Chain A
Amino acid sequence: MDPNPIERERTMSWKRPDTFITVLTVLLILTVGWVDYWTGEELSVSILYLIPISLCTWRISRGGGFIIAGASAIVWLMADIASSHKQGHPLVPYWNAGILLASFWFVVYLLSALKALQTGLEAKVEQRTAALRTEIAEHQRAEEQLTQANRELSQSREELVKALSDLHTTQLQLIEAAKLETIGRLAAGIAHEVKNPLMTITMVADYLAGVIPTGEPDGAAMLQDLRDAIQRANRVISELLTFSRPGEPVLMPEDINALAERALSMVKLEVVRNHIEVVRHFSEGLVALPMDRNKIEQVLVNIYMNAIQAMSKGGTLTVRTSLSPTLDQGRCPILIEIDDTGPGIPEPYLSKIFDPFFTTKPVGQGTGLGLGVSRQIIHLHGGSINLRNRPEGGVRATIRLYSKQGN
């Protein structure tokens, strides 16, 4: 089995310099011996032997240190014998060499003890480092698991919030559907009961038109009032029917600018009567969108009429068409914005304006179905409509319509 990579690296790093250290140690001993010979009895030179001894002990091993210490003592003895001129007992050099050898060995012992201590400490540090690394790795793993768990939890939460929102939307749709179903049933019944009398009244009006003398101004005026009343009652019933079952739109590519203009011509009389100035900002080159011309005209007339009725003392009706610069549902919608300069919609009413039968108009002027019908028609075209108060006053109606392939 392969040893620990750190241990292997350490062993290799120690083995490589062994030969070099040995050669260096031998050379150092010889050098010190040579210096010792030339300096004679200078005891301080003996300390120099500690250099190769320490080097060998520290870098190679204790055994090596003992051997080098022995070798140093022999070299010292040889140098001492060779350089000695003084008289004395012939065993003194051997005695000194013995003491020196003992001192050297003691140093070797001390150094090797220190070395062992250092190695032990290093091993402990390594062991502790490895343990810490393992611990850190485990912490990191645990942290990753925690992050993953958090992510999953967050995702679950988002899914839950979305599910809740979907549930709420579905609930609202169900309520709306139930409401529409009731209105639908009611509308069909009312339509039959109201439109038949209206038919009779229409026929009577046509009859009266033929019998009232031409020069009778009151008769003509009353006849016109009668026809207006029929038209109004019929509009209420028709809007109710349209609201309850708007029907699938018949889609044909249409130029939105042309439709906006045609719808404007339908409210021309009201525009003149209420002293309204019409401002057009039609963008050129807008792509033709698949639309049900009659239904979109109905929506635009509805919105124009609301705007005009909000400016009974005059004002400016601005109609703007453009390609939205921002992506919405992955496409750039075509925007139709209709601004008026009327008093605006009171904030509490803003959330109710599309509700059936909700109206802020005086009795007899609005059915409360126009905006609801308009929204249904726009939704059938895959678009959206919203109304908001403009900061500068008045209301802005914004219709967004999308092409199928994107713009």
Chain B
Amino acid sequence: MAKKRILVIDDEASITRTMKVNLERTGAYTVRTENQGRQGLTAAREFKPDLILLDVMMPDVDGGEVATQIESDPALKHVPIVFLTAIVTKEEAGRDGQEIGRHFFLAKPVNLETLIRCIEANTTA
């Protein structure tokens, strides 16, 4: 079975690195990480991910802007986006991700189990 391609865009390098290690250790995912919104957009076009994990608050181009540009790209608009945010509580985000529009929210900190459940719920097998 082909591995799912996950793109993680977060300005915190420690987060992208640990997420990549954990997700790839499961053997089910190929993970690419980026620490800037602009580079994340470029990576999305090249990498063609099955799902994007996207930080909301980033210094150059924030998560909202990245999502808008992905949505306007015909080649990427079908790619589900899961926002990772540090400024909502777990209750506000919902247990396994709150759906807002066509996107989902996960409140940081999120553990691996919840992360995988959310990825699986939003990607086709």
Contact = CB atoms under 8 A, between A and B. Distances in A.
Interface of A: 188, 191-192, 194-207, 210, 230, 234, 238, 241-242, 247, 294-295, 298
B110 interface: yes
B68 interface: no
Interface in B70-124: 84, 86-92, 107-113
Given A203-B22, A207-B22, A298 B111 contact: no
Contacts of B57: 192
Interface in B18-48: 18-19, 21-22, 25
A203 B15 CA distance: 8
Contact of B18 (A188, A195, A203): A203
B19 A203 contact: yes
B69 to A, nearest CB: 23
A242 B109 contact: no
Contacts of A207: 18, 21-22, 25
Q: Which 9 A-B pairs have the closest CB atoms?
A: A203-B18, A195-B86, A206-B112, A198-B109, A238-B89, A200-B14, A202-B109, A199-B109, A199-B108
Interface of B: 12, 14-15, 18-19, 21-22, 25, 57, 84, 86-92, 107-113
A202 B18 CA distance: 9
Nearest to A205: B111
A198 B89 contact: no
Given A203-B22, A207-B22, A207-B25, A196 B89 contact: no
B18 A196 contact: no
A132 B118 CA distance: 96
A247 B92 contact: yes
Given A192-B57, A199-B12, A230-B109, A206 B87 contact: no
A201 B57 CA distance: 19
Given A191-B87, A242-B89, 8 more contacts: A192-B57, A200-B14, A207-B21, A230-B109, A241-B87, A241-B89, A242-B91, A295-B91
A206 B23 CA distance: 10
A294 B91 contact: yes
